[in-house]
């Protein structure tokens, strides 16, 4: 991954950043970071916003545009959306629900296998994040101060499908709850489809 791509990856996984923050994270000079950012801005990949500070000049933060997010893989999004539309047309909502149910069963079986050696909730969430990361979700787990867990997904490789059919998101949440077990609750607290930059799931013991 070259420096320009690392800049995009950093913004994808950490959200809006200043040029100085990017420079420090990637061990660049401030001027070098700004050159990378401005080059991507000229291509429509990045945009920036100036936020007023209590003291001093406004702080400029850089973020991915829609075109920037689109550079990260969405599993054959256009084809998937077409297939969803065709299933709806041919078989109605009931047929689409059967398709989602079949995918849900396959996905759940995959995660059950991935979590089979995890003997506590933290290990189970960690194993689930590893499985999701392998699927392209840029997933990782974070432990919160109160002991709860966040499953964080900085990317959605089925974003186009989820936009076309919200049942995919509902299905994934249900699968997470089942594979992590009845001893915990799973709540989606940030949702890409609701305008957030990522999806975040709060997992805590009951």
The tens digit of pLDDT for each residue in 61-80 reads: 999 998 888 788 766 566 67
Give Cα separations from 118 to 63, 114, 121, 140, 142 (angstroms).
37, 8, 8, 16, 17
Does 115 lie in the same domain as 65? no
CB 4 within 8 A of CB 33: no
CB 100 within 8 A of CB 167: yes
pLDDT at residue 95, rounded to an integer:
86
pLDDT at residue 37, rounded to an integer:
95
Does 190 lie in the same domain as 135? yes
Tokens of 8: 């995009």
Question: In this structure, how many other beta carbons lie within 10 angstroms of the beta carbon of residue 8?
Answer: 19
Does 105 lie in the same domain as 30? no
pLDDT at residue 182, rounded to an integer:
94
Tokens of 64: 């991915």
With a CB cutoff of 8 Å and minimum separation 6, the contacts of 32 are 3, 23
Domain count along the chain: 2
pLDDT at residue 113, rounded to an integer:
96
Question: In this structure, how many other beta carbons lie within 10 angstroms of the beta carbon of residue 178?
Answer: 13
pLDDT at residue 79, rounded to an integer:
61
Q: Which of 69, 94, 126 is the last residue of a domain?
A: 69
pLDDT at residue 132, rounded to an integer:
95
pLDDT at residue 21, rounded to an integer:
94
pLDDT at residue 27, rounded to an integer:
92
For residue range 78-110, what is the model confidence (pLDDT) as tens digits? Answer: 667 787 888 888 888 888 888 889 989 999 999
Count CA atoms within 13 Å of residue 152 on its CB side.
15
Residue ranges, the chain, pLDDT below 50: none
Does 132 lie in the same domain as 156? yes
Domain ranges, residue 185: 77-205
Does 92 lie in the same domain as 60? no
27: burial class by Cβ within 10 Å (0-12, 13-18, 19+)? exposed
pTM of the full predicted structure? 0.76
């Amino acid at each position: 991954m070259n420096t320009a791509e690392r800049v995009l990856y950093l913004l994808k996984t950490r959200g809006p950043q200043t040029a100085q923050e990017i420079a420090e994270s990637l061990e660049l000079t401030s001027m070098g970071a700004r050159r990378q950012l401005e080059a991507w801005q000229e291509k429509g990949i990045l945009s920036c916003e100036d936020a007023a500070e209590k003291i001093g000049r406004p702080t400029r933060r850089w973020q991915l545009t829609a075109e920037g997010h689109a550079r990260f893989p969405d599993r054959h999004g256009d084809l998937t959306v077409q297939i969803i539309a065709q299933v709806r047309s041919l078989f109605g909502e009931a047929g689409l629900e059967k398709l989602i149910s079949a995918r849900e069963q396959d996905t759940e079986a995959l995660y059950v296998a991935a979590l089979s050696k995890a003997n506590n909730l933290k290990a189970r969430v960690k194993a689930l994040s590893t499985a999701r990361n392998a699927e392209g979700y840029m997933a990782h787990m974070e432990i919160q101060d109160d002991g709860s867990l966040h499953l964080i997904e900085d990317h959605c490789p089925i974003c186009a499908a989820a936009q076309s059919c919200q049942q995919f998101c509902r299905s994934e949440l249900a699968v997470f709850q089942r594979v992590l077990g009845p001893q915990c609750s799973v709540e989606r607290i940030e949702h890409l489809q609701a305008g957030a930059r990522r999806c975040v799931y709060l997992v805590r013991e009951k």
